[in-house]
Every structure is written in structure tokens, then in C-alpha cells.
Copies of this chain bind each other. A is one copy, B any other.
Amino acid sequence: MGHVNRDIEKAATDVGQQPVAIGRQGAVTIYDVARHAGVSPSTVSRALGKPGRISARTERRIQDAAAELGYRANPMARALPTGRTQTLGLIVTDFTNPVYFDLVRGAERAAAEAGYTMVLAESQESGAAESNAVERVRPLVDGFVLAAPRLDDEALTAIAQDTSLVLVNRAVTGIASVVVDVRTGLSAALDHLRAHGHSSIGYLSGPARSWINARRWEVLMEEAPRRGMHIVEIPTTEPTLVGGRDALPRVRAAGVSALVAYNDLIAIGLLREAQATGLDVPGDLSIVGFDDIFGAELVTPELSTIRVPLGALGEAAIRVLIGRVDPETHEPAKAEFVPRQSTGPARSR
């Protein structure tokens, strides 16, 4: 699959030995810097650790020596006595789900800004794979973020007991979490649909084990009747394009004129399948997505959706994790309805 030269790791000796990946063998240590600056290793450690506590003169000398020798601290060696790795973890269920793009970016930026490095893991579908990912990541981070975990409360609580953990889009008592307030967005969407004459709508639901799915449905159940609208839950097989596509028969059977989907993927899948079978969107069917992922405004008609500030969410999760933000006082970000072209007047039939 690749080509071109193979990287040869230069051994300490001149004879090339292991062509394998090796950390850094001839790295310069604080001992080298100490010798070069004519001080003791511990002084070097202090000078580079907290620039306040030693004489300005020797501090300069040490910094110069470090720069000259190209000294870079060994994070592993540092982690041993301190117990902190300056590394944070992020575990998502599916990389290729566009929902996570901005979340990952937001998290990575916040982490980098605070001097942390991100380790990333994917937990596929199952709780088992999620457990694996957790166990693999846990030992080498100072804490981690779990996005939309499928693990149950008990398992999560156990994890949080000896590792700092922040949940995204999932609330468990006793565990820090960052969630989005979807009520305003959902309400706006319902108002919009009602204004267009829709009185009976369907909710294309997400995974049964998903906390936010339950939350969204819950809010819908409260807000729709309040507006004199009927609402039914229409299950999907998976929260993807094909899940949306496969739901069309059930949607037609349900006889609703408008839909709110668990996410944009489902919404788009349904939209395209509906068009493929000759339905007009929004003429015959109004569709509202959720998340506002990349691609939502690429489809024709552009997808009306409830935008979730994913980037901000990822950022917030990291901030909470490193203690820069008190989750108690900070108020939840709000999802916002974005009307586009996939919603319109209900056709009387």
C-alpha cells in the first residue's frame, strides 16, 4: 500500500540495529543540562519546573544550556513521581459519525491550550468495546471524556471512582457531565411545524440505550401535546443513513406529515429515500434533523435541523475535566432550531 524508503532508527552506535520504532534513546536529560550549566540536576529540575524559585542568573544559565542542548522533558519520567501525565482521553462511539468532528476538535483545542495532549479511542457500538477502550486509555491519562456512553450507570460510576471522568450527553448522579439543553430548540421546531399546519408528527428515534434519545423523546412528549399536536415514536434500526432509509415504510404507515429525527444522519437517509420513491420534501413530508452536521445543508432541499453546539460541548467537557470550569455554575449550552428547506406547509390530503 505504501512505498518509498523505510525509516531506519539510528542506534546509539553507528551500526544500525533495530529497524523498529523506538522511543528516543539518545535523548538529552537534565543530567546533561546540569553538567553543561555547572549545576546539579535538581536545580535544573526546579529551573525548568517552576521558573520562580531560584536565582535569576542561574535560571537563565540553565535555560540557555537546555536550549543549546535541545533538551525536552521526558513526559513518562515526569509522570512517575507526579502521577500526572498531562494527557487527556476522549472516547467516542464512532469516528466517522460527523457528529463527533467538531466535538473532537473542540476538545483537542481546549486540551492543547491547557498544555494537555489528547489520546483518542473509538468504542464502536457495544458496551464491551467501550470497556476495552476505557481500559486501554485509562492508565495513561489524567482523566477522560466519554461521549454518549453506552455503559450503564453502575459501570460508569465504578470507573469514575478512581479516574476523573466527564460525560458528554449523558447524566449520571455523582459524575460530572456536560449536556445540551434541547428544549428551546425542540420547542422552536415544534412551533415552526405547527405554524405550517402540521398537527401530527413522528419522532424517528435513536438507539434504545442512548440517554439523549430518551431525553429528546421525553421533551417532545411534553412539548407537542402542549401545542395540541399528536406525536408518535417511530423506531429506527440504527442511527445512520440506512437507518433513516429503512424507516420510510413505517413513516408512511404512521400517516404523519412531519418528522423530527434523532439525528441528521437518520433525517438525511429518510429524506433521500422519500425522494427516491417519488415523495416531495417538504411538500409531502417535512423533516427536521438534529445536530446540524456537515452535510445537512448539502442535501437538496437543505435540511432544517436543530443545531447542537458540538465544538463548544467538547471544549466545555475538557474545561470541566481539568477543573477550569465548575459544572454547577456554568449553564448548559442551548440547542437552536435552524429552519431551512426540508420543512414547509402541510399538504392537505
Q: Is the CB of B95 within 8 A of A2?
A: no
- Within A65-84, the residues touching B (CB, 8 Å) are 72-77, 79-80, 82-84
A105 proximity list for chain B (CB < 8 A) = 95-96, 122
Taken together as a complex, chains A and B put the C-alpha atoms of A163 and B300 apart, in Å, by 48
CB of A190 to closest CB in B, whole Å: 24
Q: Which of B4, B122, B140, B171 contacts A175 (CB 8 A)?
A: B4
Identify which of B1, B121, B326 contacts A332 (C-beta below 8 A). Answer: B1
Tell me how far the C-beta of A245 lies from the nearest C-beta in chain B, rounded to whole angstroms.
Answer: 13
Q: How far is the CB of A110 from chain B (nearest CB, A)?
A: 11
* A contact residues, total (Cβ < 8 Å): 97
Nearest B residue to A77 by beta-carbon distance? B80
CB of B327 within 8 A of CB of A3, answer yes
Chain B residues near A315 (CB-CB < 8 A): 1
> Any chain B CB within 8 A of the CB of A43?
no
Partner of A321, one of B10, B21, B101, B272: B21
Query: A191 an interface residue at 8 Å Cβ cutoff?
Result: no
Q: Give the chain B neighbours of A333 by CB distance below 8 A.
A: 1
- Whether A112 is near chain B, meaning CB under 8 Å from some CB there, is yes
When chains A and B are docked, how far (Å) is the Cα of A268 from the Cα of B135? 41
Q: Which of A23-31, A34-42, A199-207, A247-255 contacts B (4 or more CB under 8 A)?
A: A23-31
Top 8 nearest A-B pairs (CB, nearest first) are A2-B178, A1-B316, A21-B164, A300-B300, A21-B143, A2-B327, A23-B83, A76-B79
A-B contact pairs, 17 of them (CB 8 A): A2-B320, A3-B178, A4-B171, A7-B160, A10-B162, A19-B323, A22-B83, A22-B84, A24-B163, A25-B83, A72-B138, A76-B80, A80-B80, A96-B105, A112-B122, A117-B119, A117-B137
Given contacts A21-B323, A87-B140, A299-B299, list 10 more A-B pairs with CB under 8 A: A1-B178, A1-B330, A2-B316, A3-B177, A3-B332, A23-B85, A87-B119, A95-B101, A101-B101, A104-B120
